[in-house]
A and B are shown apart, each in its own frame.
Chain A
């Protein structure tokens, strides 16, 4: 039975589960990874949850409930409730000591409203997973008191969920990063969401993650950032065109969307353009809003807001009686922390980079899912599978290592590939089994060699030898080579990773990195040489097959180019080899085309002998 991890947010909520040992966010029915925490009863009497509720808010403000989290578990006399009573478009009333909200004339407790959100999250998750969900872990802000936590739990139960745990949002964020294993460390969680800013100091001890202090600003978030950007756009437009768009609801709507898009774009780009043509028109015709917007300008506009977050950060450190140098890790939560300026200021403050690798909109839900996984026992009974520490392969033409099994492949596994010969009438091939990351065979470790003999005589490239690598669960490698024509086969068994120690493996990996560039050059050189040899071989063969179908001049031309390629092919000048090979290819193709025409006119069915494509990998000829 799966346990849901739920981040029940003030503006948006998010749901995750553990699947195959990894936390994963579940998309809602609309296909979004987060759901607005908004509830409404429409004028037609339909109850709406999430995006649809948000979309009709403008036309139905009294019956659209949002930011209910600010009210849950509160007493009517709380200053927070009194403040909300002033600013919220919906009605907040007293019920007992607590509060209720009104929607379509009916009273609901905040628990009931939160339950409606949870119900949708549960139903959508069930639809995604195709199974019933009965249990959940719900996160709450670290500063929530017992009443608020109890009320959240009640909301879960009204929604038909057994709430296994209520956990703190910052703790969940730390869990998503696996920081619960960092015993004795202090962690700062910086959560800048849509409408609230929370900061917490966590202390990780032997078996618990304890919240040492919390601070924040309940009315600072992404919305404030959007507002300063919108104000700037309005100002600039007024300067340029002398028109105030603030009173034009339609234009304002477009500016809002454009401001948000620009803000997001400037998280990755240095510059963007706000382009809203035909934003309005007056007696002089249409007017266009076209503004260049740079990251520097954005940072100038938002600098004060970001600086404002550092006050609560300092206060939280003081309350926890630690200094900023005592903080081992900083975890970023909330969409606004994607802004490079936020990351930069936090980094400057602490003198170390904050953690941003987990999606900040999802990190809390993911952490709740991790906790759910622990309760579910998902982590138990996992069979640990080994991986091959280094790549395995064989030596092919020109001393190149051709990898059959890449490093980090999970074992047991097997892989096979067909190879061919490098010379005419080659009757033996040597299989040189290698391990390592270098491009050239010489730089890698030899695990073993064997010879497959008795191949039937044939032109190069014709015989088919299947080489198969098989590693069993114990790391024992079996390499076999089979000639497809004769069925002759040989093999070798190599015991577990050939006894490489951890240090040796690391050394070999480092070695490969250090030599990557020269190895690549060497490999390219060999590839060019191989290509040259193939070109020479096929061109000579073509001339032989052509007999008197080519004129003396044509024959001479090809022969000259072959001779020219032979001169440069063993040198170090790749470019010269490539040039000579290209020139040979051009003349050979001309002859080939002519032969093809002659053959079509004369005897159909004969093979045209155009130069072959280079053979990908061939055995080098057996060295005596």
Chain B
């Protein structure tokens, strides 16, 4: 085979290689743009979830405070306690604006995909494997779990 032909064959192969490389680069860039667009959406969701997550302990403590409310609260202190409850409602509405919803009810079946068992306890009033007490409410944002509900399960 004459040298020239070999060279032109080589050159063709090179051309092919370069063209493919170029197409690949363009495709990579195009895909990167798409990936970035999706990533932006997920990052925003993650940022909101993170923010909601940081607000949860404060709400937990409000719940805890309610559980500890003395029965013999003087009548003059009632409006004050009511006011604090409004603060709690305000915080909860911020959570809802972030897209977060609370969940977890006594009596529902224990589901490890959304509940975290922190203890078990025998109970006559509840079926085995159902929630006896919600120690801390769970929070979701859409289908995403922000924090599981911490529960006590009947054994």
Instruction: List A residues at the B interface (Cβ < 8 Å).
Output: 20, 30-31, 40, 42-44, 48, 52-53, 55-59, 249-250, 253, 276-278, 281, 285-286, 383
Contact = CB atoms under 8 A, between A and B. Distances in A.
Interface in B14-53: 21, 25, 28
A58 B110 contact: no
14 contacts: A30-B145, A44-B129, A52-B112, A55-B117, A56-B110, A58-B120, A59-B155, A253-B118, A253-B150, A277-B64, A277-B65, A278-B61, A278-B67, A281-B68
B65 A278 contact: yes
Contact of B117 (A56, A278, A285, A286): A56
A610 to B, nearest CB: 38
Contacts of A52: 112-113
B116 to A, nearest CB: 4
Contacts of B148: 55
B70 interface: yes
Interface centre among B64, B129, B145, B150 (most CB of A within 10 A): B64
A52 B144 CA distance: 14
A562 to B, nearest CB: 48
Interface of B: 21, 25, 28, 61, 64-65, 67-68, 70, 110, 112-113, 115-120, 128-129, 135, 144-145, 148, 150, 153, 155
Nearest to A381: B21
Nearest to B153: A59
B64 A278 contact: yes
A277 B64 CA distance: 8
B112 A56 contact: yes
Interface centre among A48, A59, A285 (most CB of B within 10 A): A59
B118 A250 contact: yes
A55 B112 contact: yes
Given A42-B112, A285-B70, A58 B61 contact: no
Interface centre among B21, B68, B112 (most CB of A within 10 A): B112
Contact of A57 (B25, B70, B117): B117
B155 to A, nearest CB: 7
Contacts of B28: 20
A250 B68 CA distance: 14
Contacts of B120: 58-59
A43 B118 contact: no
A281 B65 CA distance: 10
A54 to B, nearest CB: 8
Contact of A249 (B68, B113, B118): B118
Given A30-B145, A48-B112, A52-B112, A59 B64 contact: no
Contacts of A250: 118-119, 135
Nearest to A40: B112
A278 B21 contact: no
Contacts of B117: 55-59
Contacts of A40: 112
Given A43-B129, A250-B135, A277-B61, A58 B68 contact: no
A35 to B, nearest CB: 14
A52 B111 CA distance: 8
A43 B127 CA distance: 13
Given A40-B112, A56-B112, A253-B118, 13 more contacts: A20-B28, A30-B145, A43-B129, A48-B112, A52-B113, A55-B115, A58-B119, A58-B120, A249-B118, A253-B119, A253-B135, A276-B61, A277-B65
Contacts of A276: 61
Contacts of B64: 277-278
Nearest to B17: A381
Contacts of B67: 278
A285 B71 CA distance: 11
Interface centre among A20, A278, A285, A286 (most CB of B within 10 A): A278
A53 B148 CA distance: 13
A53 B112 contact: yes
Given A43-B129, A277-B65, A278-B65, A249 B112 contact: no
A281 B148 CA distance: 25
Q: What 5 pairs between A and B have smallest CB-CB spacing?
A: A56-B112, A278-B64, A52-B112, A55-B116, A286-B68
Nearest to B32: A20
Contacts of B116: 55
Contacts of A253: 118-119, 135, 150
Contacts of B113: 52
A576 to B, nearest CB: 45
A59 B135 contact: no
A250 B136 CA distance: 10
A383 B22 CA distance: 10
Contacts of A31: 144
Nearest to A250: B135
B46 to A, nearest CB: 8
A53 B115 CA distance: 11
A506 B128 CA distance: 73
A330 B109 CA distance: 50
Contacts of A383: 21, 25
Nearest to B64: A278
